[in-house]
Amino acid sequence: MSLDLVAQYLISQPFLHGAWVTILITVVSLFFGVLAGLVLALAQQTRFLPIKILTIAYLWLFRGTPVLFQIIFIYNVLPSFDIRFSAFWSGVIALSLNEGAYMAEIIRSGLQSVKKGQRVAGQALGLSHLSVLCWITLPQAARIVLPPMGNQMIGMLKTSALVSVIAVQDLLLVANQTASADFRYFEALCAAGIYYLGLTSIFMIAQGAMEVALDPKARRRRANGEAGLRAILRRILSNTTTAGGDNVR
């Protein structure tokens, strides 16, 4: 085994590109996944029956089948109905739709965690519906939603490796191809692992920073001299110890 080779792989063109593709797929899928989740969460709250049934069918479908199945289905089966996407977009669409099904539940429980009395109190002060949503409901829901949402985001980084089965040149596929071409499995996979760990670490730090930013009491603690970094670190530690079971998909 050669650490030099690991370092060489790390900065080689294919690995850099693979890492970039992994980041791109993750971020784009997360964006559309959160969007889909928000729409589904609001749709679940309507009293209009057809929409309700549609949402339930959606959730049933996307939670009830493996995400790997969904990726392959969109890439290989839809073209026979003349619906074609590139490998990259097939992956993104499958991951987004799948993510939406899980985000919906998280967002819905976040919105429900804000008691009706809080909204009524806002209305009684003369705030409009929109103001109540922006200044009372969403800020309180965001604090509830952020930890599980952060876990979903880190999960997405790892789940994105599944797109290698439809030949998207992501980090894992690059590593695997390099490994079998050079017969250097250890070094190639080591390099990929380092990238994955680095990326998940960045996500965790971002998640911790966001939680601190949304914690109203943190502002006061900071005024009293607690360093921001320490607060973030404490969040990350408490997240990693409570994250428990990752979603198995």
Query: How many residues form the binding site for other proteins (CB under 8 A)?
Result: 20
Answer yes or no whether residue 118 interacts with other proteins by CB under 8 A. Answer: yes
Based on CB atoms, which residue is closest to other proteins, 120 or 202?
A: 120
Question: Read out DSSP for 89-129?
Answer: HHHHHHHHHHHHHHHHHHHHHHHHHS-HHHHHHHHHTT--H
Q: Which stretch binds other proteins (CB under 8 A): 34-42, 113-121, 193-201, 205-213?
A: 113-121
Collapsing DSSP to helix, strand or coil, 1 comes out as coil
Answer yes or no whether residue 139 interacts with other proteins by CB under 8 A. Answer: yes
Question: DSSP code of 48?
Answer: -
Q: Which stretch binds other proteins (CB under 8 A): 12-20, 35-43, 120-128, 174-182?
A: 120-128
Residue 28 neighbours by CB distance under 10 Å:
18
3-state helix, strand, coil in the chain (%, to 5): 85, 0, 15
Question: DSSP code of 249?
Answer: -
Answer yes or no whether residue 128 interacts with other proteins by CB under 8 A. Answer: yes
Can you tell me which of 17, 63, 143, 158 binds other proteins, judged by CB under 8 A? 143
Can you tell me which of 53, 121, 213, 227 binds other proteins, judged by CB under 8 A? 121
Q: By the criterion CB under 8 A, which residues form the site for other proteins?
A: 117-118, 120-128, 131, 135-136, 139-140, 143, 216-217, 220
